Amino acid sequence: MGSKKKLAIFDFCGTIFKLQSPDMFADFVAKQNLRTKMLQLICSQLSKSEKYCGIHHKKVKLFKIKGTPKAELTAKAKYFVENVILKNLIEDVVKELDKYIEDPDYDVIIASGGYNLYLEYFCELKKIPYLISTNIEVINDVATGKIEGIDCFGPNKILKLNKVLDVNSYDLESSICFSDSMSDKPLFNLVGNKIFVAKSGDKYTLTKL
C-alpha cells in the first residue's frame, strides 16, 4: 500500500493576495446609489466602534450587492481576478503555491474567508483542485446580499474542510499550512508544518512556526 498524500493548505487574503478581498469585491460590484452610500456610512461607524467586529463589517459590505444578477457577479469576478488579484500577489508565497501544485505528493487547497465566485476562477487559472471559501448567497440567479451558510473563518475552516476532503486520509504530520493570521490556528494545529506570512513595510517574510 502506497504512502498517504499530504495537504498544502493556503489562506488567501494577506497570504497569497496582498490585500483583503471580500470588502474590495463588494465595493467593486456595488452600484453607487443611496442605499450603498448609507451602508458605507454604517461600515465607517462600525470600524470606529470599540466593539468592532470584522464579520459584522463584512456582512454590511456584502449587503451592497443585493439584487445583482449572478451573470453580472460572475463577469465582475473574472475581471476582479485578472485586474486586481493577479496584480497584487505575494511573489514568495506564489512560488511556494506553484511548487506544491506541481508536486504529485500533495493536494493543494485554498482555505479563505474570501468569496467563492472570484476564488473559483483563481483556482481554475492556477489549476488548484480544492477550495473552501465564504459563499455568496444567490437565489433565483440574483444575489441576496447575504452569506450562504457559515463564514469561512477560524474554526469554521475546519468544518468546511471536512466537508470537502477526508482529512484523515492524508499524512497530516507531513502536511503544511501557510497563513498570515493566527485566526487560522485551527488549520495550523491540523498539520505538522506551519508557515507564517508576515508583512513588514512592503516586504513579506515566510517563517516556520
Q: Which domains does the chain have, with CATH numbers?
A: 6-19+70-208 (3.40.50.1000)
Neighbours of 208 (CB within 10 A): 8
CA–CA dist 182, 105 (Å, integer): 27
Q: Assess whether pLDDT exceeds 70 at residue 2.
A: no
Span 189-208, pLDDT tens digits: 999 999 999 998 889 999 99
Each residue's pLDDT tens digit, 87-127: 999 999 999 999 999 999 999 999 999 999 999 999 999 99
**39 pLDDT band (50/70/90 cuts)?**
low
Residues whose CB falls within 8 Å of the CB of residue 43, separated by 6 or more in sequence, listed in order: 57, 60, 61
Grid cell 498539520 is found at 191
Indicate the pLDDT class of residue 40, thresholds 50, 70 and 90. low
**pLDDT (0 to 100) of residue 162:** 96
C-alpha cell at 143: 444575489
Question: Model pTM?
Answer: 0.90
CB within 8 Å of 26: residues ≥ 6 apart: 61, 62, 64, 65
pLDDT tier at 1, thresholds 50, 70, 90: very low
Residue ranges of the alpha helices (H) in 52-201? 54-62, 70-80, 91-102, 116-126, 156-164, 185-190
